[in-house]
Structure 1
């Protein structure tokens, strides 16, 4: 009863506090960050990402994002989804798909790596099956940025995947279609968003204040995943950038919200 009451009382104030002190997606910054990353990958800067050619009719990819594997406690949003995720991995591996992990696979703002690796050993074991046959592309997000900047990242990843596991900021899947060449640009989607791309308050708040509170109260307002205004703005900026790129599809995660060009009649009226 006390926990339920506190949850009801604290949720809105905490969200307002987080929104007040965090930044907002900015068009110029988001556009510049995405363009720079895409240009680096296309120019062959291996540390940024790969260009992976595939056949239009035979290439098979399964893309997952934002699993947020945690410590199997009250703050672990992935734990309840694990059986479905494992079943999906078994299916797609048996069918010969390439696994693309779009980032925030591990929740490393709230947990240490050892905690996550022990809590979800079975999941890493299933992902390893893709890695063993050279069919696993791992991309970092904002909540697992450690894979890009921790000197021990390679050691940690080798401990669960067995051999070297490169982690990129993005990947371009490239194919030839009847209409010409097509690039599918895959990245996490936090680029250029100061809320998630290097903002000190977001990291401090999540790691030191929100994670313990979330674990006890069992609530999870991610930013921008929980903030509908913020994620709608970020989605709009990502869509507008991708719409201006010729012969390119953009696939991202980050906001935990599906965004497609095809809209219902009501959605089109709402946008007018």
Structure 2
């Protein structure tokens, strides 16, 4: 059997070779989120607790001209086979995502938990339009939506490339054996999940599995000299000095809030949105920068520039 390292190298290379190309420059604005795992608002729906934070953040990014990039596992389609239940539970989210879509500022990738989005028939049936029971009419949602496994962001001027994937590529149980793992989640782990148990196939609370994935992806980056932004592990990561340019945007289901990656003015940063109190004790949703910003060109391995700037920041845990 092929090793997980070789499998990941093969799958990442396949994803890169078949990726959609998205050209950008220093005037481009992107927000990368992943691992929302939007569910049906039942106890197993981890996203529900952060829905208002996410909605506030999306409003900010829409009003400020960002393109929204969802790096997989946006919808929890392993636990819930009916997308209608998810859409109804988070109707305001989809209304705002539609505004991004209608203004050509939505890029959607699929991960392991919504891998069925790679099938056009499923996307067309569930995401193009929906039936509004109240008004008794069909309403367009994302007509013509094409979810991707991978997108390569390519700088118009420098040619620097950034590979974006969900990050499950090469994780055998969540990639090659996803059908089996999905069934165990839907009919067994879903119910244990609601009372705090974690599926052992998930890397989320398995530090050994997380570090293994990070090492394998870093090896691919070193070999191919291409920067990577992904999700999947739920562990945010922004490279320190002399580390390879492996970025992870965290997740939207952590108790502390939601994390993401921003690209603006040719710079990249790791950010977090969470609820904080002011001096009067009032609650507010606030954005803060966790790491960065740093010029993207400093992570261009082709010119041996990557991460040569000083950085005294501590690693994220």
Q: TM-score, normalised by structure 2?
A: 0.68
Instruction: Give the superposition deviation at 1:80.
Output: 0.6
Mapped to 1, the partners of 2:314 and 2:143 lie a distance apart of 50
Match of 2:143 among 163, 168, 189: 163
The structure with the largest helix share of the pair is: 1
Q: Distance in 1 between matches of 2:53 and 2:313?
A: 33
SS at match of 1:232: helix
Once structures 1 and 2 are overlaid, which stretch shifts more, 255-264 or 26-35? Answer: 255-264
1:232 paired to 2:211: yes
Question: What count of residue pairs does the alignment treat as equivalent?
Answer: 232
Question: For the Cα contact (< 8 Å) 1:102–1:186, is it kept in 2?
Answer: yes
Deviation at 1:104, TM superposition (A): 0.2
Asked if the contact 2:163–2:229 (Cα under 8 Å) also holds between the matched residues in 1, the reply is yes
**1:180-259 correspondence runs (5 A):** 180-199=158-177, 200-215=179-194, 217-221=195-199, 223-246=202-225, 248-259=226-237
Residue 149 of structure 1 is aligned with which of 96, 119, 122? 119
8 Å Cα contact 1:141/1:190 also seen in 2:
yes
Contact 2:39 2:45 in 1 (8 A): yes
Counterpart for residue 4 of structure 2: 26
- Please tell me whether the aligned partners of residues 69 and 78 of structure 1 are also in contact (alpha carbons under 8 angstroms): yes
Q: Which of the numbers 25, 32, 38 marks the counterpart of 1:63?
A: 32
Q: 1:155 offset after TM fit, Å?
A: 2.3
Between the aligned partners of 2:12 and 2:84, the Cα distance in structure 1 is 32
Q: Is the 8 A contact 1:60 1:97 kept in 2?
A: yes
Distance 2:238 2:48 in 1: 28
For residue 52 of structure 1, give the secondary structure of its aligned residue in structure 2. Answer: strand
Q: Which runs of 5+ in 1 are unaligned?
A: 1-22, 42-49, 268-272
Report the counterpart of residue 5 of structure 1 in structure 2: none
Which deviations, in whole Å up to 9, do the C-alpha atoms of 1:59-93 show, x marking residues without a partner?
Answer: 11110100000110110010011111111110011
Alignment RMSD, CA only? 2.2
The question of 1:35 aligning with 2:16 is answered no
Q: Once the 2 structures are TM-superposed, how far is the Cα of residue 132 of structure 1 from its aligned partner?
A: 0.6
Q: 1:100 to 1:164 in 2, by over 3 A?
A: same
Instruction: Tell me how far apart the structure 1 counterparts of residues 236 and 2 of structure 2 sit (CA, whole Å).
Output: 20
- State yes or no: 1:53 paired with 2:23: yes
Q: Is the CA contact 1:140–1:167 (under 8 Å) kept in the aligned structure 2? A: yes
Is the alpha carbon distance of 1:111 and 1:24 closer, same or farther for their aligned partners in structure 2, counting shifts above 3 Å? farther
Unaligned 5+ segments in structure 2 are 131-140, 242-311
Q: What SS is found at the alignment partner of 2:187?
A: helix
1:10 alignment partner in structure 2 = none
Is 1:175 the counterpart of 2:175 in the alignment? Answer: no
Is 2:44 the partner of 1:75? yes
Cα distance, 1:159 vs. partner? Answer: 2.1
SS at match of 2:18: helix
1:40 is displaced (CA, Å) by 2.1
TM-score (norm 1): 0.79
